[in-house]
Amino acid sequence: MDILAVVIATIVLACPVLGYGSGAPPGACASMIPNHGAVPQTSVAPYSLTLSSAKYGCGVDSVSVTLAGTGGANFRGFLCQARADMDNVTTVGTLSDDDATLTFTNNCSAGSITHSEKSDKASAKFKWSPSNEKSNVHIVCSVVQNVSTYWVKAIHEQITPCSSATSATLAFLASVAVLLAFVI
């Protein structure tokens, strides 16, 4: 009986748990699931996204994005995508590195970005640049805390296009400012 227990323990312990230290695998592009062999968390993720602007266009050529832990939470991996719709796998625009030591655009599409190594990180910074978008864009992220603890598409923020009315208002205000400068 002891031999059977040793054999079973050896088989169970020898089964690999897959982790991707150099970025999300190509198979994770559509689902954003890291394929670690564990079940995703359903609790609120201890991470947040901060945007340099909630709008694009009207002079905003790109939006800086920071993925960060809250309450001291670190993460080892992530996959973020810019999507027109959170449930549509098509990405829009381009996500690019602000810090090449943390991230690289993976082989999903230009609208995707992931980690390049698996060390603990407090944050990752990158930039979203539109191409021909004229609709809302969702920056959506899956985050891996460790090989068995991860959240799928649980962290997201929306970026909206600057409307033509806003653009016209900004142009009007700029004209008024110029006129006031001449009067004063």
Sheet holding 63-69, edge to edge: 47-51, 63-69, 123-129, 94-97
Measured distance CA(61)–CA(129) in Å, rounded:
6
- Do 135 and 158 meet the contact criterion of CB atoms below 8 Å apart? no
The one-letter amino acid code at 88 reads N
Give 139's contacts (C-beta < 8 A, 6+ positions apart). Answer: 49, 51, 65, 80, 81, 82, 128, 156, 157, 158, 159
Q: How confident is the model at residue 2, as a pLDDT? A: 63
What tens digit of pLDDT does each residue of 79-127 get?
999 999 988 889 999 999 866 666 666 678 889 999 888 899 999 999 9
Measured distance CA(45)–CA(42) in Å, rounded:
8
> What is the residue-averaged pLDDT of the chain?
81
Q: What is the CATH number of domain 20-172?
A: 2.60.40.4060
Give 127's contacts (C-beta < 8 A, 6+ positions apart). Answer: 62, 63, 64, 65, 95, 96, 97, 98
Pairwise pLDDT comparison (33 vs 165), residue with the higher score = 33
Find residue 83's DSSP bridge partners. Answer: 91, 138
Query: Does the pTM of the predicted model rise above 0.85?
Result: no
Residue 168 pLDDT class (50, 70, 90 cuts)? very low
Q: How confident is the model at residue 118, as a pLDDT? A: 83
The one-letter amino acid code at 24 reads A
Count the neighbouring beta carbons within 10 Å of the beta carbon of residue 97.
16
Residue 167 pLDDT class (50, 70, 90 cuts)? very low
Q: How confident is the model at residue 67, as a pLDDT? A: 97
Chain centroid to CA 30: how far?
14
